Every structure is written in structure tokens, then in C-alpha cells.
């Protein structure tokens, strides 16, 4: 076993991934994915693409997702710096529909998130050079790329005047979003 711990959250299917982090004089080492351990938890094991973002303190990215049929599960880790991470449940019929959960992710802590399809994801960089790594289960589809307005998520963001892309600033508010996602209780 690699020592990865999986911890459920209030949002069904959203899982905190806690790898064992080894530290020595050089820094840290953590194994963040073992297919057999993910499969044993009922999590996807086939990731198709991986992304890295580097963001400056006070930047907000989100709240992003892909629409069906290109929707995907994803893992998210902060490999450097620190991030205030937000996951918003958009699955109609979910007991937590419209609910957001927040987490602080950082390079030193090593923990990440497994985010199920139908949940939007975003974050605020808490330090300069915050690096996030995402692995997703479907190919990026520009026509399916979507989001909801970050400021409409029901959370208190840790920034007053964030740096936000024009695209992210034009997403519809959560109250105006007609979700195509449905909750399937059998999978969680």
C-alpha cells in the first residue's frame, strides 16, 4: 500500500485525498495516485489529460466544469504555494445541490481532492506562484467548457478585489444556471 487515505466529505462523491508525505532535508515526496487504491474506493482510475496552472496571490479561477457528454471526474492538487479551494455541487437531486465546500490545499500538506462529475471547481491563490495540478477523465472540449460565476458560489472568498479572467467574470450566476447534471445515488 502507498499510504493514501481517502476521506469522504459532506458532498457525495467528493473525496479528500491524503497521501503519505515523506519529508527530508531535500523537501517532500508524495505518491498521489495508485490505480488499485482508487478503484477500491470506487473512484475513476483512467485519467486522460493533466493540467497545471500557476497563479499569483489574489487570483481566482473558477467555477469551472465541462458539460455532458464531455463532463469528467477530476483530481486536484496544489503542488506549490497555497489555495483556498471550492467545490460546488450542481447535480440536480443531490442532497447537497447548490452547496459548496471549501478546503485549503498547499504544497507542504500534500492533500488533494477527487471531484465527481457535476461539481464545479474553483480556487483563490493564497500565495504567489500557487501551482495547481488537475487530472481529468475526459478530453477537453471547447464546446463543453462552462462555469458559474465564482462570486455566486455560497462561500466567503478570502480576497477583496480578486484577479479574475474576463471569461470567468462572464459566467452566469448560480441562480441563473440551468444544470444538466443529475445525481445518481447508486454511485456514492
Q: Report the chain's terminal Cα–Cα distance, integer Å.
A: 23
Give how far the C-alpha of residue 144 lies from the chain's centroid of Cα atoms, to the nearest Å.
17
b/e burial code for range 159-175 (CB count within 10 A of at least 16 → b): eeebebeeebeebeebe
Query: Is-catalytic flag, 114?
Result: no
Q: Is 134 a catalytic residue?
A: yes
104, 85 Cβ separation under 8 angstroms: yes
Burial class (CB in 10 A: 0-12, 13-18, 19+), 185: exposed
Query: Which of the residues 70, 72, 114, 134 is marked catalytic?
Result: 134
Give the Cβ contact number of residue 187 at 10 Å.
Answer: 10
Element (H, E) at 40: helix 35-40
d(CA 120, CA 123): 11
Which of 51, 64, 70, 140 does the annotation list as catalytic? 64
Spatial CB neighbours of 21, under 8 Å, sequence gap ≥ 6: 28, 29, 30, 108, 109, 110
Q: Name the residues annotated as catalytic.
A: 64, 134
Amino acid at each position: 500500500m502507498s499510504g493514501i487515505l481517502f476521506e469522504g466529505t459532506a458532498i457525495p462523491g467528493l473525496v479528500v485525498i491524503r497521501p503519505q508525505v515523506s519529508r527530508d532535508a531535500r523537501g517532500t515526496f508524495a505518491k498521489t495516485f495508485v490505480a488499485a487504491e482508487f478503484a477500491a474506493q470506487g473512484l475513476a482510475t483512467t485519467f486522460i489529460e493533466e493540467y497545471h496552472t500557476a497563479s499569483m496571490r489574489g487570483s481566482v479561477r473558477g467555477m469551472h466544469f465541462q458539460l455532458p457528454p464531455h463532463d469528467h471526474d477530476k483530481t486536484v492538487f496544489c503542488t506549490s504555494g497555497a489555495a483556498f479551494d471550492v467545490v460546488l455541487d450542481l447535480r440536480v437531486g443531490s442532497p447537497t445541490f447548490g452547496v459548496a465546500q471549501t478546503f485549503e490545499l498547499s504544497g507542504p500538506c500534500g492533500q488533494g481532492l477527487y471531484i465527481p462529475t457535476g461539481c464545479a471547481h474553483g480556487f483563490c491563490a493564497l500565495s504567489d506562484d500557487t501551482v495547481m495540478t488537475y487530472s481529468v477523465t475526459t478530453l477537453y472540449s471547447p464546446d463543453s467548457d462552462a462555469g458559474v460565476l465564482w462570486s455566486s458560489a455560497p462561500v466567503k472568498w478570502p480576497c477583496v478585489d480578486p484577479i479574475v479572467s474576463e471569461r470567468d467574470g462572464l459566467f452566469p450566476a448560480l441562480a441563473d444556471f440551468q444544470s444538466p447534471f443529475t445525481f445518481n445515488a447508486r454511485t456514492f
